[in-house]
Chain A
Amino acid sequence: MSRVNEQIAIDHGLKKDEYKKICDLLKRTPNITELGVFSAMWNEHCSYKSSRKHLKKLHTKGDQVIQGPGENAGVVDIEDDDAIVFKIESHNHPSFIEPYQGAATGVGGIMRDVFTMGARPIANLNSIHFGSIDHEKTRNLLRGVVKGIGGYGNCIGVPTIAGQTCFDDSYNGNILVNAMTLGLVNKNKIFYSKAAGINKPVIYVGSKTGRDGIHGASMASAIFDDKIEEKKPTVQVGDPFTEKLLLEACLELMAGKSIISIQDMGAAGLTSSSIEMASKGDLGIEIDLTKVPCREENMTPYEIMLSESQERMLIVLEAGKEDEAKKIFDKWNLDFAVIGKTTNSKNIELFFENKKVAEIPIDFLAENAPMYDRKWTKAKLPKENKFSKNDFKSLKLSECLNKLLTDPNIADKEWIWDQYDHTVMGDTIQKPGGNAGVVRVHGTNKAVAAAVDSSATYCHAHPLTGGKQVVCESWRNMISVGAKPIAITNCLNFGNPEKEKNMGEFVECVEGITEASKYLNYPVVSGNVSFYNETKDKGIKPTPSIGGIGLLSDYKKMVTMELKNDGNYLLVIGKTEGHLDQSIFAKNILSNHDGPPPEINLFNEKQNGLSILNLKNKNLIDTCHDVSLGGILTAVSKMSIKGNKGVKLFPIEGLVNKFEYFFGEDQGRYIIEIKPENLENVEKILKEDSIHFDKLGIIESNQITYGNELKISIDDIKEGYKKWLKEYMVN
């Protein structure tokens, strides 16, 4: 066994002073296994050492919250004893190195987080960000990631119901792969990771342990350089078939009463799962590593503790229930081994071939883990652009619209979601490509809506506003399908926290998220932080991804976004000021990347959303779509394309420039379709509620027209919108 010194500690990703702290705590030099355990527990990915201080500020409470952050996933009440377990997690670093396996195991990991709590997964979602479409790696990374997500989720048989795909230069060297899962559980049968009682058997179930993924968590906390390809062996390899068996076996065991606590082996494998269970229960744990089922020969204690082999779980069982439990895992052909027991020592003690190979007080690893109050700088609100008439002089509405509909960040993503099984389980009532995915709660009248959002452009321009905006956009997605917004999970993807600017982006985005989620009563119940998304000194734009869920108490009242009937009116809810700064129009058409993001007015946001739900409950809305990237005209076009219906747009009232009106990205807006006979009633209700609205147009023919200035057929815009990604992927 090699002797540990400072250099070896640094090679493990620890800082000099952190290594010194370890030696001081232990009052001796750790051996290599102990050092491995410390490095796994103290890295950013597991310890949240740079983020913990700020995450405490998140708004995490609400009547609907059964379990907030700190468990494997968050849990919210959806009435009648039903609860939804959900979480989003990043798998960015591995996906850049090995896109298929990186993305696949990301999906596998998040599903385990959900079913380890006793829930059957009912929906998957994802948010994926890639570099510029011209970057040499983008196509292959996109292809690999999509195949990986599909390969895993399709095999397990959980529908992938929604997602988001973005392209931006800042991800050229660091793509983002965030995977989210929702599970359904009876709220009286939720399982937690907190161990209880001493001398209880500690059980290992699932796949065998191999050498894959050793130091995966440390890699996720490191910056990439030219030698990144050498890290390939640290990427885990997924086996969705085994996960499916593990899912069924765990749920079968959970139907009984033998489990005290259960935890999946995710990042930092056996190390973090065993320590977390013991730490939460204020216990010690003893593990005989000789008993761990291994796939490869001559694995050392160090390797067994740090392996990130997938599809494994750790269970603390009631004593005497081993045989009963083993029978279930035998039925599903999975390994089952009693590898240790809980103790009252409050230490983790590891044995191998009858020798004690490590002993560390659990406090040192969990509570004494470093916590940093990193320096950060506050971002200034950029100065507004002053566009002049000349900027728009040569522009035509139809050309602008065509350009935006074929912009990589707006164009249709069917090529992606056609590769995901989105209908298995027979309850998907809104497929990908809408405002949110919606699945029924099996055998009931209820349905759950879910969506993932991010707005790196806004967050980059002004993190505080951007943080608020993403939460609001998620909220709007729920409202748009007629669901009551319930709660969110966040995946906070940022650059190097040791740089003040990046840390500032993180702090202010979190502040924005907190402010909006508090105001909207849309609490954060789970999430994860991914720092060090940086290659050769170039970091990503700040990218918090927000996964939101909402509840429909009657799924038959779900709202969709495709236009329905000729003669119906379209209204825009919310005020249009024509904010072009940071819009996709400014970037794509005016080549302008400056200025502040659109302002968030939380009061209006809430009023507008609630009034739409009110109209929906009165059956007055036929269609709804929130206005986001590309503004009103882009939104109308998407609604037209989906419904194969044209729209005659009415003349804009007031002084706003038509480009600003049609492409501005002011927040808090929706477009709704109203039957003529309901129009008067709807207008009356909106006026009573003091909600600003504009009459936008009327549904007719098969073209979108605006006086003499725009006449474009649905077939024409559909062609470009639908084809862009397919053609890009073939080239």
Chain B
Amino acid sequence: MKSSVIIFPGSNCDRDMDVALKKFGFKNQMVWHHDSEIPKSDLIVLPGGFSYGDYLRCGSIASKSRIIKSVIDFANSGGLVLGICNGFQILTETGLLPGILQQNKYLNFICKNVFVKIKNKENKYFKNIKKEVLELHIAHNEGNFFCSNDELKSIEDNRQIAVTYCDDKGNDSEHNNPNGAIKNIAGIFNKDKNILGMMPHPERMIDPFLSGEDGSLFFENLIGSM
């Protein structure tokens, strides 16, 4: 399986993602934001970081970069596009995913382990993961997902919620919401479920010596289901 990680100026999880993808068997290549074409890929990843300094609004400048047209074309043709953290923000800015990511409710950057509940397994990203609750890691200042009531209804009707913040037992009440996201949403799909944006970083959880290993389940499933 071939994957491509896009590097924007200010991306800083590009290497971590490269390490994770290769560890689980992807043939990964790095693609520079100023290129206009993406090499043949089965998966495109928009990594975390602060693309273009996140000036103006997180992800907004990246959503207008030269490479992004190819990403949109690839996504619209059904290709798998995964956006983590800043990548999620970029995906909402391009309009490939609905909603926006605003500043965390308590106005602080948050870096810690969280639990997320998998809400929909009928897709390549979560299909064969046996667990219902994953322990992942967040590190962001703008992860507070928000959308209009109409959009939310459409997201729910189309089963686009991918993961929600919860406790270790899967209880996704407001109490277990680290950043104020509407409905505890930590990640969403597009309608066709080929695009996934999520705030938690599975690439930081791929080794028992790191913060945990549930990220491994994510990547193992992903390459296995492709």
Contact = CB atoms under 8 A, between A and B. Distances in A.
A150 B109 CA distance: 8
A154 B53 contact: no
A419 B104 CA distance: 12
A614 B21 CA distance: 38
A431 B137 CA distance: 13
A157 B111 contact: no
25 contacts: A151-B109, A154-B141, A157-B49, A157-B50, A240-B53, A241-B9, A241-B10, A242-B53, A244-B10, A244-B12, A332-B9, A418-B110, A420-B109, A420-B111, A423-B211, A424-B13, A424-B16, A424-B48, A426-B16, A426-B203, A426-B204, A428-B211, A429-B209, A556-B209, A558-B209
A517 to B, nearest CB: 31
B19 interface: yes
Interface residues of A, number: 34
Contact of B139 (A156, A331, A333, A423): A423
Given A332-B9, A417-B111, A420-B109, 16 more contacts: A150-B109, A155-B53, A241-B10, A244-B10, A245-B9, A331-B34, A418-B109, A421-B139, A423-B201, A423-B204, A424-B13, A425-B15, A426-B19, A426-B207, A431-B211, A558-B209
Nearest to B53: A241
Nearest to B52: A241
Interface of B: 9-10, 12-13, 15-16, 19-20, 34, 48-50, 52-55, 108-112, 137, 139, 141, 201, 203-204, 206-207, 209-211
Contacts of A147: 108-109
Contact of B137 (A157, A241, A423): A423
Given A428-B210, A429-B209, A155 B110 contact: no
Interface in A479-512: none
Contact of B55 (A241, A333, A422, A426): A241
Nearest to A333: B9
Contacts of A332: 9
B50 A240 contact: yes
A333 B15 CA distance: 21
Nearest to B14: A157
Contacts of A423: 111, 137, 139, 201, 204, 210-211
A555 interface: yes
A154 B139 contact: yes
A417 B203 CA distance: 21
B172 to A, nearest CB: 21
Interface in A320-346: 331-333
A239 B53 contact: yes
Question: 10 shortest A-B CB distances, which residue pairs?
Answer: A157-B12, A241-B53, A426-B16, A421-B139, A155-B50, A429-B209, A419-B109, A421-B111, A423-B204, A150-B109
B192 to A, nearest CB: 31
A422 B49 CA distance: 14
Interface in A389-428: 417-428
Given A239-B53, A244-B50, A418 B203 contact: no
Contacts of B201: 423
A419 B10 contact: no
Contacts of A429: 209-210
A427 B201 CA distance: 14
A718 to B, nearest CB: 17
B108 A419 contact: yes
Contacts of A425: 15-16
Interface string A532-556: 0000000000000000000000011
Contact of B10 (A151, A155, A418, A421): A155
Contacts of A156: 12
A418 B210 contact: no
Residue from the set A420, A425, A426 with the largest chain B CB neighbour count within 10 Å: A426
Contacts of B53: 155, 239-242
A157 B13 contact: yes
B143 to A, nearest CB: 13
B153 to A, nearest CB: 34
B168 to A, nearest CB: 14
Nearest to A423: B204
A506 B111 CA distance: 38
A709 to B, nearest CB: 36
Contacts of A418: 108-112
A596 B207 CA distance: 47
Nearest to A417: B111
Contacts of B211: 423, 428, 431
A429 B208 CA distance: 9
A404 to B, nearest CB: 26
A97 to B, nearest CB: 23
A331 B49 CA distance: 19
Nearest to B178: A418
Name the residue among B55, B111, B210 with the largest chain A CB count within 10 angstroms: B111
Contacts of B50: 154-155, 157, 240-241, 244
Contacts of A244: 9-10, 12, 50
A151 B103 CA distance: 14
A419 B141 CA distance: 9
Contacts of B54: 155, 241
B12 A424 contact: yes
Contacts of B203: 426
A244 B141 CA distance: 18
Contacts of B48: 424
A374 to B, nearest CB: 43
A432 to B, nearest CB: 10
A599 B108 CA distance: 42
B47 to A, nearest CB: 10
A242 B141 CA distance: 19
A722 to B, nearest CB: 13
Interface string A431-465: 10000000010000000000000000000000000
A1 B34 CA distance: 47
Contacts of B109: 147, 150-151, 154, 418-421
A449 to B, nearest CB: 14
Nearest to A245: B9
Nearest to A241: B53
A426 B212 CA distance: 11
A217 B141 CA distance: 32
A460 to B, nearest CB: 33
Nearest to A420: B111
A240 B209 CA distance: 29
A556 B19 CA distance: 19
A582 B9 CA distance: 51
B49 to A, nearest CB: 6
A650 B18 CA distance: 52
Contacts of A240: 50, 53
Q: Counting chain B CB atoms within 10 Å of each CB, which of A147, A241, A332, A556 scores highest?
A: A241
A557 B68 CA distance: 44
A428 B20 CA distance: 15
A155 to B, nearest CB: 5
Nearest to B137: A423
A154 B111 CA distance: 10
Interface in A222-251: 239-242, 244-245
Contacts of A556: 209
A155 B139 CA distance: 11
A241 B55 CA distance: 9
Contacts of B52: 241
B67 to A, nearest CB: 14
A333 B32 CA distance: 13
A419 B110 contact: yes
